[in-house]
Structure 1
Amino acid sequence: MKKTALLNSEISYVIAKMGHLDMIAIGDCGLPVPSHVPKIDIALTAGVPGFIETLQAVLSELHVEKAWVASELVSGGSPVYGQLTELLQGVQIGHLPHETFKTRIAEYAVAVIRTGECTPYANVILQSGVTF
């Protein structure tokens, strides 16, 4: 059995395959995922698992160089944005209009992790960095 925090085999597999500049998204339960982008659906019920706890687990294995969120998350005053910025201290966080955010997923994401989160715009794109 794995010793690290992240136990989901599909998520671990995708992260292990990621190279520098590859992108993975973590989304709320309503984020549309293009049919050509692999979706790892971990949603169980409304709110379970949450966005922040999923992000924490992913960050236990993924070195993040840059991240993007929808500008609507920032302007909406959601506490999720504050929690996200605390977890991503030292990481450049870009803001994109939601439609542009979804286009970036369609063009660049190697996978989308769908959570049970119900907070509007609680989504992030994480760009893989290097550990050296």
Structure 2
Amino acid sequence: MKNTKLINSEISYVVAKLGHFDRLTICDAGLPIPAGVQRIDLAVTEGVPAFMDVVRTVVSEMEIQGVELAEEFKDVSPELHEKLLGFFESVAIERGKPIPVSPVSHEVFKENTQKSVAVVRTGEFTPYANITLKAGVVF
């Protein structure tokens, strides 16, 4: 058994296969997932698992070049948006590398999920709780 935080075999496999600039999306329970993109559905019930729990765990095993999120997130769900930005600020400090955050319109965000290697669906019911992680390199 793995001795790390991320024990979900499907997500672990996807993260292990990511190359530079590949994308992995983590979303709330309502984001449409494009046909042809791998769906990893973790949603059990409202709030389980929580968006931030999944983000923290995936980021613990992934080199992050940047993140993309919907610009509407900030206005519609400001508390979770601030928590997410604070988390990435702390990760950037811990890793000694900036993590650029790119806000785009929700429509563009949904279109861009077509470029993701996989989409991880959580049980989050907070509107716009969606993020795409762009893989970096460790050197």
TM-score over 0.5 for the pair: yes
Say whether the 8 Å CA contact 2:77–2:127 is kept in structure 1: no
Q: Distance in 1 between matches of 2:22 and 2:11?
A: 14
TM-score, with structure 1 as normaliser: 0.96
Deviation at 1:77, TM superposition (A): 4.5
Partner letter of residue 132 of structure 2?
Answer: I
Give 3-state SS (helix, strand or coil) of 1:19's partner. coil
Identity among equivalent pairs (%): 44
Give 3-state SS (helix, strand or coil) of 1:102's partner. helix
Q: Distance in 2 between matches of 1:76 and 1:63?
A: 29
Q: Distance in 2 between matches of 1:47 and 1:128?
A: 26
1:98: which partner in 2?
106
1:9: which partner in 2?
9
TM-score, with structure 2 as normaliser: 0.92
Q: Distance in 1 between matches of 2:127 and 2:69?
A: 12
Q: Distance in 2 between matches of 1:78 and 1:118?
A: 14
Report the structure, 1 or 2, having the larger helix content.
2
Give 3-state SS (helix, strand or coil) of 2:85's partner. helix
Unaligned runs of at least 5 residues, structure 2: 90-97
Unaligned runs of at least 5 residues, structure 1: none
Q: Distance in 1 between matches of 2:13 and 2:4?
A: 13
Deviation at 1:88, TM superposition (A): 1.2
Q: 1:1-132 residue pairs with structure 2 within 5 A?
A: 1-89=1-89, 90-106=98-114, 108-132=115-139
Say whether the 8 Å CA contact 2:46–2:124 is kept in structure 1: yes
- CA displacement, residues 12-56 of structure 1 (integer Å, 9 cap, x when unaligned): 000000000000000000000011100000011110000000000
Q: Distance in 2 between matches of 1:110 and 1:125?
A: 10
Q: Distance in 2 between matches of 1:110 and 1:69?
A: 16
Q: Distance in 1 between matches of 2:63 and 2:81?
A: 19
Segment of structure 1 superposing worse, 72-81 or 88-97: 72-81
Partner letter of residue 100 of structure 1?
Answer: V
